[in-house]
């Protein structure tokens, strides 16, 4: 997992997404297959004080959650909860069964209740970092639709070539968009907006494009083109 910095092509006076710095973080990961997810969880545990919950996707009998619990304990983040999420069924891509001590107990499987607890403990939004399939997020939104206004996330799926080049696509959701006219123009609120994001990168840097349109709320009308191009930098370990 790495720091993410994007430069938008829209004007400085345009609406900006809300500031999520300091908000709680939920990581959704199919840890236990590729090593990058394990590194991401450890990096977040070491560098993100707001990490509150790790949920495991494509579960293998709760073993991914036990592995996540073991890693968090090793780096001193015993207060971060771990929950075994949904299973996709028939997954064979799990290769760390011999790395988890027998003393690590089975982890809870109360996915929706765990997400609700994180949201209840926070006054503002909660960041959802999707590193695996979207099964858990879909389950949360289906069973607890009221949490849709609290969760902020940008899940991106990547395909990486052997040479280090990669392509990716995902979804961005902007919430609470507000245009501040600073006395020169009327202040305008916009509806929440969702749009696709695409990226093409090489190793630690990627060019991103976000396709986004904001729709003005009453009494104003009209659309605002919020498409933007940016650069994404990722620390690789």
Query: How do the pLDDT tens digits run along the chain, 237 residues long?
Result: 334 444 333 334 445 556 677 789 999 999 998 788 898 899 999 989 999 999 999 999 999 999 999 999 999 999 999 999 998 877 668 889 889 999 999 999 999 999 999 999 998 899 998 888 888 988 998 999 999 889 887 665 555 555 667 667 666 777 778 888 888 788 888 888 877 777 777 766 778 888 888 888 878 888 888 888 887 765 543
Same domain for 85 and 105: yes
Residue 172 lies in a domain: yes
pLDDT of 130: 86
- Specify the CATH number for the domain of residue 31: 3.90.245.10
Residue 148 lies in a domain: no
Number of C-beta neighbours around residue 57 at 10 A? 25
Q: Which residues pair with residue 199 across a beta bridge?
A: 168, 208
Same domain for 208 and 133: no
Number of domains in the chain: 2
pLDDT of 155: 60
pLDDT of 233: 66
Q: What is the pLDDT of residues 86-141, one digit of tens each?
A: 988 776 688 898 899 999 999 999 999 999 999 999 988 999 988 888 889 889 98
Residue 65 neighbours by CB under 8 Å, 6+ apart: 55, 56, 59, 82, 83, 84, 85, 106, 107, 109
Same domain for 29 and 117: yes
pLDDT of 66: 97
Examine the fold and report which residue of 143, 176, 200 is the final residue of a domain before the chain moves on: 143
Structure tokens at 115: 């997400």
Pairing of strands 25-29, 51-56: parallel
pLDDT of 61: 92
Report yes or no on whether pTM surpasses 0.85: no
Residue 158 lies in a domain: yes
Residue 174 belongs to domain spanning: 1-17+153-237
């Amino acid at each position: 997992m790495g720091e993410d910095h994007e430069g938008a092509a829209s004007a400085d006076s345009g609406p900006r997404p809300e500031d999520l710095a300091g908000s709680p973080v939920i990581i959704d990961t199919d840890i236990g297959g590729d090593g990058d997810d394990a590194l991401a969880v450890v990096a977040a545990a070491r560098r993100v004080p707001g990490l509150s919950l790790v949920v495991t996707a494509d579960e293998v009998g709760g073993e991914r959650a036990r592995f996540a619990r073991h890693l968090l304990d090793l780096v001193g983040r015993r207060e971060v909860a771990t929950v075994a999420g949904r299973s996709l069924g028939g997954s064979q891509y799990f290769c760390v069964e011999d790395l988890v001590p027998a003393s690590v107990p089975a982890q809870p499987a109360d996915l929706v209740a765990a997400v609700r607890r994180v949201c209840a403990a926070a006054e503002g939004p909660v960041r959802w970092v999707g590193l695996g399939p979207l099964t858990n997020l879909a389950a949360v939104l289906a069973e607890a639709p009221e949490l849709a206004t609290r969760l902020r996330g940008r899940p991106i799926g990547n395909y990486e070539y052997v040479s280090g080049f990669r392509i990716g696509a995902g979804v961005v959701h902007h919430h609470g968009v507000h245009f501040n006219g600073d006395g020169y123009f009327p202040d305008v609120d916009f509806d929440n907006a969702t749009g696709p994001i695409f990226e093409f990168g090489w190793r630690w840097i990627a060019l991103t494009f976000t396709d986004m349109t904001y729709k003005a709320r009453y009494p104003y009308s009209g659309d605002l083109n919020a498409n933007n191009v940016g650069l994404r930098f990722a620390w690789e370990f």
